[in-house]
Every structure is written in C-alpha cells, then in structure tokens.
Amino acid sequence: MRPSKVARAAGTGASVPIECCQICGHAPLDAVLSLGYMPPVNQMVRIGEVPRQQPWFPTTLLHCRNCELVQLGLAVDPVIIFPPEYPYTSGTTKLLRDNFADLQRESASILGLGADDLVVDIGSNDGTLLSNFKNAGIRVLGIEPTDVGDIANQRGIPTIKRFFGIEVAREVKRKHGPASVVTAANCFAHIEDVHAIVDGIVEMLKDNGVFISESHYLIPLLEAVQYDTVYHEHLRYYSLVSLQHLLEMHDLEVFHARPIPSHGGSIRVYAARHGAHVVQDSVQRMLSAEPRGEAMTKRLAAFRRDVILSKLRLLSMLRELKEKGARIAGISAPSRASTLVNYVGLDEGLIDYVCEIAGSLKIGRCMPGTQIPVVDEARLFSEQPDWAIVFSWHIADELAPKLKDKGFRGQLITPLPSPKVI
Ligand SMILES: [Zn+2]
C-alpha cells in the first residue's frame, strides 16, 4: 500500500514531519537515534559575518518494521537544502569518477547498449556519469535542477534544468523516445515523493528498459558507524530489502545488485519489468546477508550505542590533547562533516580551522552551525598544527599519503568508526 500521507515540504519554506513510512505507509515508525537539531549542511556563513538567526532542524532516524526502510523523521523544503547555487559537483572526486566509468562498463556489458539506445540520468549533476555513456557512442540526456546543470550543458551533455517528475518524464518520452536505461545515482534517497519518482521512471522506460540506482547502503552505514552521513538531504537509508519492496510496488523486479565503494559504502541495483531480464544470484546473496525483523531492531539498537560511544571517545581524545595545549585543525569540509561537528559539539574553541583544497567554494566560510573557518590548505603546511582530524575519513587511505607528501608533519586522526591516530 502506498503511503496515504506523503510529507511534502516542497513549497513550505520550512519542514514537515514524516508520520508514516515513505515506502509502504506503515505507522507508527520506531525511533532509532536522535542526533539533535542540525543546521542545513550548505548553511555556511562568511567568515567574520555578524551572527544572525538560522534555521535548525530535528535530525532523527526512524525504522519501518513492515518494509525495513530506515528514514529521516523530517522532510525539509528542497529550496533550503538544494539552493540553486548548490556547491556540490560529482566530477571532482576521483572515486566517484571511477565508479561512474565502472557503471557504464558494467551496464553496457550486461545490456549490450548501442547507438540507438537512450540513457537518461536523474539528478545528473555536472554530467560526469553520462559523459561515460556519451563517449561510448550512446545517446544521453540529463535532468538536473541546480545551476550545476549549466556545466553539463557546456560540456556537451544535453541537460534539462528542472526538478524530475511525471510531467518531465512524459516530455522526455515525447521528444526523445523511451529510454533503454534510466539512472539515478545518489538522488534516489533525496527526493521526497519517492513513488512519484518511480512512476516517472517507469513512464520513460522501454518495455525491457532498465532502471539502475545507486544509493547509500544501510549495512556499511551501520557497520562503520557512519552516522555522519545522516543529514536532511538523505531522506532514506536503503537496504536491498526495502529498495526491493519499493520497486515491487511499481512492478519492477530487481535482477542484479552489488555493493560499491562510493560515499563509504553504497549499493547499485538493476531493476526492470518482471521477466524482462534473468535474475542473477547476486540478488538472493545480498538479501540473505541483511538483518530483518527482530534482528534488524537489535542491529539498530547496537548502532545507536556505537554512535553515542564514538562521540564520547572523540571528545575525550580531544580533551586530553587540548589540556596539553595542542593545536588541532580539520581536513576537508564534506557535507558529512557538518553532522559530525554539530553532533559531537566541535567548535572554534576545539578546532582552529578546517582546510579545503585551493579553489573550493567553501573557503572563506564557516563550518555549518559553528564559527570554525574553512581556509586554503596552504595554511596547514605553513602553520603545521600538531593534530588534524580527517573529516573525509572514509577516504583517509587516499588523503593521508597526499598530505604527508605535501609536507604535513602533524598527526592525523580519523574520527569514525572510533577515533584513531593513523
Ligand atoms: Zn515501510
């Protein structure tokens, strides 16, 4: 059964609580964890600006016992979370670029795509994913509501600058014909009316067309205590069980799924109309490895305990360093750092500054909800603070050697799953 009540925050200029499951409509939902009130992750005021009032929103995770979806307890108006000047571009991270190249290779080999096929990407960002299909000689079309869509158009990836919905889907089908593949990488957890999105996707697909989604995967999120990926952009935290439940409601069958490394642990799922493609063993393998029912309830309770302990351990480590007079900086300011900083209670008294690579749009601003300045990483090498916390800890293996090569002599801390000197 579809939810009788969809929490629609769009157009409210504020937020709406989620009172029943976004996938199956079940109520009441069980509380998993509260991270308190959080500022929107892109709310970064300029350094030195006089503090003024800012919106903060409750950040609570809920679990649906019926379909296993873990979800945020509040939907915030997308104009607050994704302003037109939204600074995120997917093409800037090597890991994501490599992943999109892999997605193209894998799907082309499974589906045998050719010049007549059309690939539509929802939430196409700067066109990085589609550029792989275009280079392989396949027709592409992006749909991206923010100004980042202009970058894609300039790069020769045709992009419609609108929020995706059934109207846009019908228009795409009329003008370009049905799609062989529709992709949604990391926006499938973001859009508030998920059933409307799947309706739009089904509308665009050929009879044997394939929908490929990539989303944060709940299982590695729990295992690596990645509570820092919980923020208002991410309305849903999918397991394969919950994703399959959603797709089945639209008569789509999951025929292949596998874990991928993006964002510290994601899942790539292939779905199509029933019987259109042979169901691979990967689906059952992944499903049987996921906890459900009582086992999931217990797993989530353990996660909550892990989150609370990780906060206390990080604070106690920083307290010891501060009592000895240490200078502590932060390395990189991804969205997830906002949740960590605000949940743990880090501020400019503990963290002197956070470094970003030259050219980052975040330089000259403060970490959300704090007055910790974000500065050019040149300062890290000139000032050589004793310690630095790696906020992009999920790619610390890639970052640490680079920082040492560039001349950083201090010690590095990864804050999660449990704080550690690396
Ligand atoms: Zn549900």
Distance between Cα 245 and ligand 1 center (Å):
8
Distance between Cα 296 and ligand 1 center (Å):
13
Distance between Cα 265 and ligand 1 center (Å):
22
Contact partners, residue 2, CB within 8 Å, separation at least 6: 24, 25, 195, 249
Contact 182, 120 (CB under 8 A): yes
- pLDDT bin (cut points 50, 70, 90) of residue 227 is very high
Distance between Cα 192 and ligand 1 center (Å):
14
Residue 90 has pLDDT above 80, yes or no: no
Distance between Cα 9 and ligand 1 center (Å):
19
For the segment 71-77, the average pLDDT, to the nearest whole number, is 93
Distance between Cα 65 and ligand 1 center (Å):
7
How confident is the model over 242-254, as pLDDT tens digits? 999 999 999 999 9
Quote the CA–CA distance of 279 and 271 in Å, as a whole number. 9
Q: Which residue did the predictor score with more confidence, 395 or 388? A: 388
315 by DSSP, 3-state: which? Answer: helix
What is residue 85's predicted lDDT score, i.e. its pLDDT?
A: 60
And the tokens for 352? 């002197």
What is residue 182's predicted lDDT score, i.e. its pLDDT?
A: 97
How confident is the model over 174-198, as pLDDT tens digits? 999 999 999 999 778 888 889 999 9
Place of tokens 């903060």: 56
Distance between Cα 29 and ligand 1 center (Å):
8
Distance between Cα 161 and ligand 1 center (Å):
31
Q: Which residue did the predictor score with more confidence, 186 or 205? A: 205
Distance between Cα 227 and ligand 1 center (Å):
21
Residue 420 has pLDDT above 70, yes or no: yes
Residue 326 gets which letter from DSSP?
-
pTM above 0.75, yes or no: yes
And the tokens for 40? 């929107």
What is residue 96's predicted lDDT score, i.e. its pLDDT?
A: 82
Distance between Cα 120 and ligand 1 center (Å):
28
What is residue 84's predicted lDDT score, i.e. its pLDDT?
A: 63
Residue 372 gets which letter from DSSP?
P
Kind of pairing, strands 205-216 and 266-273? antiparallel
Distance between Cα 156 and ligand 1 center (Å):
40
Q: Which residue did the predictor score with more confidence, 31 or 42? A: 31
- pLDDT bin (cut points 50, 70, 90) of residue 2 is confident
Distance between Cα 271 and ligand 1 center (Å):
19
What is residue 88's predicted lDDT score, i.e. its pLDDT?
A: 61
Contact 340, 368 (CB under 8 A): no
- pLDDT bin (cut points 50, 70, 90) of residue 91 is low
What is residue 89's predicted lDDT score, i.e. its pLDDT?
A: 62
